[in-house]
Amino acid sequence: MNKREFIKLTGLAGAAVLSGPLSGLANTSATVKTNLDDPKAPFTLPPLPYGYDALEPNIDKQTMEIHHDKHHGAYVKNLNDAIANTPYASLTLEQILKKVTAAPTDKAIRNNAGGHYNHSLFWTLLSSQKTTPSDKLKAAVSKDFGSWEAFQQKFNDAAKTVFGSGWAWLIVTPGKKLAVINTPNQDNPLMTNLVKEQGTPILALDVWEHAYYLKYQNKRPDYINAFWNVINWNEVEKRYKAATA
């Protein structure tokens, strides 16, 4: 698939986004209001906390525009459509994730609720400013993985070995330990009825091709390496502290 074909394909995923309260995610109090036909829709697309080009050269502007506006926007619209007139309609996003199952009737809700949560989290974990992990966070990581380098290798391997589309995660387990896992598609560690290893995500990497194909083509390892240059370690540590409090 060449660049022109990829852009055409991703454009098909685009959809108008909806306005309304987005629950349970940090840094999403502001909303993008673009669906004037249904202002009471429960979920909305959070704006990026930086410009589309802020992550250059590690993640390019065009990818961020398509990824946020088209892909994430489509997840929000489809989630609102999927939960309409169902018991899920009155739940928060986190409650939906905990309740959703592998039943065929839940398929659209599973995919789009996961897509909305995962991306809303992902944007906050990226930074246009250089940040570094604190000594406290490094010590916690070294305790559970043996060393910082061992953690990075394990995370990289988790991201590289996702077959097809999915995510790599650093989570805090129910036992307050750090662990690295990956999930397929838009599943995440909060989906208690679906994932084998549950926990609170504090770092996430989207390894769907739409996250990197325009710049890196099929070179996923290059994209994974570039990711380490734009991690918002202040946000990671904030989430670590909250998860272990």
Residues of the chain with CATH 3.55.40.20: 135-244
Amino acid identity for residue 186 in this structure: Q
Would you say residue 24 has pLDDT above 90? no
Say if residue 210 carries a ligand binding annotation: yes
Of the candidates 240, 170, 168, the one whose C-alpha atom is nearest the C-alpha of residue 211 is: 168
| Domain 3-124, classified CATH 2.40.70.10, yes or no | no
pLDDT at 164: 95
What is the DSSP track for the chain? --HHHHHHHHHTT------S---S-TT--S-B---TT-TT-S--BPPPSS-TTTTTTTS-HHHHHIIIIIIIHHHHHHHHHHHTTSGGGGS-HHHHHHH--SSGGGHHHHHHHHHHHHHHHHHHTB-SS-----HHHHHHHHHHHSSHHHHHHHHHHHHHT--SSEEEEEEE-TTS-EEEEEEETT--TT-TTT-SS--EEEEEEE-SGGGTHHHHTT-HHHHHHHHTTSB-HHHHHHHHHHHH-
Annotated ligand binding at 206? The verdict is yes
- For the chain, where do the domains classified as CATH 1.10.287.990 start and end? 3-124
Q: What pLDDT, in 10s, does the model give residues 109-128?
A: 999 999 999 999 999 999 99
**Distance from CA of residue 63 to its chain's centroid?**
15
Q: How buried is 214 (Cβ within 10 angstroms: 0-12 exposed, 13-18 middle, 19+ buried)?
A: buried
What does the pLDDT look like over 190-202, one tens digit per residue? 999 999 999 999 9
CA 167, CA 227: separation in Å to the nearest integer?
13
pLDDT band at 41 (very low <50, low <70, confident <90, very high): confident
Q: What is the pLDDT of residue 9?
A: 39
113-140 b/e (C-beta count within 10 Å ≥ 16 → b):
bbbbbbbbbbbbbbbeeeeebeeebeeb
Q: What's the CA gap between 169 and 111, in Å, rounded?
A: 17
Q: What is the mean pLDDT of residues 77-86?
A: 96
Q: Is 71 marked as a binding-site residue?
A: no
68 annotated as a binding-site residue: no
| Spatial contact of 121 and 204, defined as CB atoms under 8 Å apart | yes
Structure confidence at residue 39 (pLDDT)? 61
Give the per-residue pLDDT at 185: 98
40 confidence band (pLDDT: 50, 70, 90): confident
- Percent pLDDT > 90 in the chain is 83
Superfamily of domain 135-244: Iron/manganese superoxide dismutase, C-terminal domain (3.55.40.20)
For 135-159, what is each residue's pLDDT tens digit? 999 999 999 999 999 999 999 999 9
